[in-house]
Structure 1
């Protein structure tokens, strides 16, 4: 039979943002319930080497980091629920969410930490080589390609920014775009074309990511000219797919304010959303940085904002009762 789970603090999502919010919320006595969602642990569960998370001198594994975060959250009192939310009601407090099995989750405050996903090309060869030369985050993985030949795939701001970033590590960066013009802002295009380390291949689409060796790793790309249809092979050590991200906010539409790209909007300098008592943290509200450490930081902010909200609400109720 469906069960109702009630708490002071509900958290939707279990990546670095959600689990950081859970740690701070539990320590504040809010007894958080974390509904883990369709991808427990978030994007770090599909990341291998992590070298830029503070506190670890050696390379760590993404799944291990998330397991440790979850264990820490549980140790201080957070409860983990393996469920996928199919509907929610934010029209009044306590807020209500319903899982796909019928369980009901109620909370006086709600933290949205559903994250975002990088967009991929959708090739089977791409999927086979993720983490083996194919990445969607130059800031995360670029360090591992120092002095190597790399490509960035895309034509928007994300792609140009990733290509420029990679020149910090490589003198041989190629931007591959399926059209003959870029969609990026003019100032970014000017910086790109002025950088001698970057070459642009126009009118090329990726037909296949080629992997060889033992262990297998990316060695080349099979390209097709979008104008002539000519097929070519392009040797490379690493490929960064930079065609954008999409936030996991489909279920939130009509409940909280979203921006034109689908990200949850928050008040500047806080995690407060358009609904009092609902807070957002991590990649679901951050389209700029998208790092594990920034997600964890905003998770901390969300818990502190939620704690302050509950304290103010309780004070107002006590004052009203005293009159």
Structure 2
């Protein structure tokens, strides 16, 4: 075996597993994806993590996790896992250019932002369409932007964007927000934030870059043109489990099925996060 444990995923769950495993003197490899960025990294201000009464930047927190895991001996590589294969004993983890073996695997790949799947989304991605305000918010200084969604992520993104944009419109399909009360209170109190209730985006428009969106009122079916310079999509997440194929059972939404001890139905494969 190359390793006792291979962890797939470099977010809080995977890094915590790395800290515990390597501290127990278990030979540990953590495989980070090139394409998947954990939600914590793109969160500007985390207030509910113990030990930081004034809050902490998500990227800085993850860097501390990583240094702690490295201190105890966790090895890190950046690669895309293509497949997991059972061997006797243990498991093979196949990446694009190498295969690793381990007695156990911890899958902590998290989830990626869901798409709207509307015309213009692909065309204008990177040219006004974004899924990460922390990454792209500064590009919209003194401009008008829209945020699609009504949960915590959407409200956090909207509040962050008010640092740069002159106006932020939250487009929400219901008549009440789903985010936590404290985020709702901050959003309602912020003069830069407006909310388009009972509305969904049906198309993203522009020429070369985003110039606006078409919004449908879900109660009246009326379509209106809404001008904006950018749109941030925050409508939930899709689990990053496509590479697993039939390695472990998944539920209807694509999440790994595991018990209270994070063990899947396959001996030696655990799920976390």
TM normalised by structure 2 equals 0.70
CA shift at 1:139, angstroms? 2.7
Give the match for residue 200 of structure 1: 198
- CA separation of 1:165/1:254 partners in 2, compared to 1, >3 Å: closer, same or farther? farther
Pick from 248, 258, 264: which aligns with 1:266? 258
Check conservation: 1:154, 1:175, Cα contact below 8 A. no
Q: Give the greater-gyration-radius structure (CA).
A: 1
- CA separation of 1:149/1:19 partners in 2, compared to 1, >3 Å: closer, same or farther? same
Matched, 1:251 2:243: yes
CA shift at 1:30, angstroms? 1.2
| Distance of 1:253 and 1:90 partners within structure 2 | 13
Q: What is the correspondence of 1:265-304 to structure 2 with a 5 Å cutoff?
A: 265-267=257-259, 269-282=260-273
- CA separation of 1:141/1:24 partners in 2, compared to 1, >3 Å: closer, same or farther? farther
Give the match for residue 232 of structure 1: 226
Check conservation: 1:138, 1:165, Cα contact below 8 A. no
Classify the secondary structure of the residue corresponding to 1:207.
strand
Which of the two has greater helix per residue? 1
CA shift at 1:15, angstroms? 0.9
Q: What 5-or-longer segments of structure 2 have no aligned partner?
A: 138-144, 161-166
After superposing the two structures, state which structure 1 stretch, 249-258 or 120-129, moved more: 120-129
Q: What 5-or-longer segments of structure 1 have no aligned partner?
A: 177-198, 210-220, 283-323
| Distance of 1:160 and 1:276 partners within structure 2 | 42
- CA separation of 1:262/1:105 partners in 2, compared to 1, >3 Å: closer, same or farther? same
TM normalised by structure 1 equals 0.61
Give the match for residue 107 of structure 2: 112
Classify the secondary structure of the residue corresponding to 2:198.
strand
Pick from 43, 47, 56: which aligns with 1:47? 43
CA shift at 1:60, angstroms? 2.6
- CA separation of 1:26/1:130 partners in 2, compared to 1, >3 Å: closer, same or farther? same
- CA separation of 1:224/1:137 partners in 2, compared to 1, >3 Å: closer, same or farther? closer
CA shift at 1:32, angstroms? 1.1
Give the match for residue 164 of structure 2: none
Check conservation: 1:266, 1:274, Cα contact below 8 A. yes
Q: What is the correspondence of 1:12-161 to structure 2 with a 5 Å cutoff?
A: 12-39=8-35, 42-90=38-86, 92-101=88-97, 103-121=98-116, 122=121, 123=124, 124-127=127-130, 130-131=133-134, 132=137, 134=147, 138-139=151-152, 142=155, 145=159, 151-154=170-173, 161=178
Give the match for residue 141 of structure 2: none
- CA separation of 1:244/1:99 partners in 2, compared to 1, >3 Å: closer, same or farther? same
After superposing the two structures, state which structure 1 stretch, 48-57 or 243-252, moved more: 48-57
How many residue pairs align between the two structures?
Answer: 238
- CA separation of 1:242/1:154 partners in 2, compared to 1, >3 Å: closer, same or farther? farther
Check conservation: 1:152, 1:239, Cα contact below 8 A. no
